[in-house]
Amino acid sequence: MSILSVTQAETAINVQVPLLTPTSVGLRHLQGSVLAEAIYMERDQPPFNRVTMDGIAINSRTSLRDFRIIGTQAAGSPPLSILQTDECIEVMTGAELPTGCDCVIPVEQIKRSDNRVELLNSAAMHPNLNVQLRGSDATQGQLILQPGTRLSATEIAIIASAGYRQAVVRPSPRIALVSTGNELIEPGEAIKDWQIRRSNTYAIQAALQQHGHRHVVDHHLVDDMTSMRNALNPILADNDVVILSGGVSMGKFDYVPQVLTDLGVQCIFHKVAQRPGKPLWFGLRSDGKTVYALPGNPVSTLICLHRYVLPGLLHSMGANASNSELIRLAHQVKTNADMTLFLPVTLCRQNDTVQAITHPTRGSGDFISLLGTQGFVQLPQTAIPLEAGTEVPFYRWQS
């Protein structure tokens, strides 16, 4: 199997990843899901001429500066009305504008005495002052949210305001994290000099949760082909996506590719022309189970997670969003003619633009060097150095 370019690997994932099945979900559980239906406004928004300041409502087509209060209009109450231009109604923010009124004078600009008010000299009055007109935000039947929209607090508020008690979405997939390796010891447990702490899955889980994926379970498997096969089979059955860390390179105990093949997971690609993360493995089972097998070195793991896995998860949910942006390099950067380079960066502001300063690590195991970086840039395969100011794709550690 030939080594793919970064673009080819990304395309292969997008083509092969199956869409998750849409389901109807209540408002309180929509966070992080992706819309699978269009959302239309139930009615005009706002549905009436809405008062935007506490104060008094008047008819501005008068020369009077002194008014008689004839009632109080609260939010959520039927509208009152005035019949004479010397009348006004006390109004609260969010209330419907009383009939016969077209202007609201804030309480800070009036002087009240019993049931009468006098406008201060600073008070202006004209039609629609401190009034949000009916339908100024959206109109009845208007398409307000498209399928493929990732739902956060803002979108969920809009869905609720449109009158929907639930929405048809593709929810976040059920994800299993699997670390492999006899050398891995849990934090807090006794450790020998030749062993290392199990840390990758904690980083992966934190990143997944930060990107809205809550259905995550965690496993650790030793480097034994039989036990690995026996453990992975139910893990594949119980989850939509399996993300492995380690055991995917060319070492004698790197059993992951063979075990996955034995369990019916078809290898779509193994190895990408990139540094770090070249041994990346991606596969798919006939029942739609998706597997990402990431290199075990921490920097490779995190970069492959953000470059391929997180976008792949969004793609499986039908999301339209991209997790990359363009950024300018702050200085000249050397490239590689044979492979794409991923370099951690910090951000700075130069010449009124945000630019990236590269911070190469001392190898793909040097996760300490990631401290203080905001993400990484992707440098193309070329023998020609990239000059300062060149735009390159940038991937943030945190969205």
Does the domain at 24-44+137-170 match CATH 3.90.105.10? Answer given as yes
Pick the CATH number of 50-132 from 3.30.70.60, 1.20.200.10, 3.60.130.10, 2.170.190.11: 2.170.190.11
Q: By C-alpha distance, which of 123, 97, 99 is closest to 109? A: 123
The third-level CATH classification (topology) of the domain covering 6-20+173-316 is Molybdenum Cofactor Biosythetic Enzyme; Chain A (3.40.980)
User: Structure pTM?
Assistant: 0.86
Pick the CATH number of 324-396 from 2.40.340.10, 3.90.1580.10, 3.40.50.2300, 2.60.40.1080: 2.40.340.10
Q: By C-alpha distance, which of 117, 172, 155, 122 is closest to 38? A: 155
> What CA–CA distance (Å, rounded) separates 186 from 114?
73
Report how far apart the first and last C-alpha atoms of the chain are (Å, whole number).
Answer: 34
User: Which pLDDT score is estimated for 209?
Assistant: 93
> What CA–CA distance (Å, rounded) separates 103 from 61?
9
> What CA–CA distance (Å, rounded) separates 209 from 213?
5
User: Which pLDDT score is estimated for 196?
Assistant: 74
User: Which pLDDT score is estimated for 1?
Assistant: 66
> What CA–CA distance (Å, rounded) separates 159 from 87?
39
> What CA–CA distance (Å, rounded) separates 208 from 203?
9
The dihedral sign for the CA sequence 105, 108, 114, 120: negative
Q: Tell me, what amino acid is at 100?
A: G
Q: Residue 341: left if φ>0, alpha if ψ -120 to 50, beta else—which one?
A: beta
The tens place of each residue's pLDDT in the chain, 399 residues long, gives: 689 999 999 999 999 999 999 999 999 999 999 999 999 999 999 999 999 999 999 999 999 999 999 999 999 999 999 999 999 999 999 999 999 999 999 999 999 999 999 999 999 999 999 999 999 999 999 999 999 999 999 999 999 999 999 999 999 999 999 999 877 777 888 888 887 788 888 899 999 999 989 899 999 998 889 999 999 999 999 999 999 998 787 667 678 999 999 999 999 999 999 999 999 999 999 999 999 999 988 999 999 999 999 999 999 999 987 889 999 999 999 999 999 999 999 999 988 899 999 998 887 667 788 899 999 999 999 999 999 999 999 999 987
Six-digit token pair at 216?
Answer: 């995550």
Domain boundaries, the chain: 6-20+173-316, 24-44+137-170, 50-132, 324-396
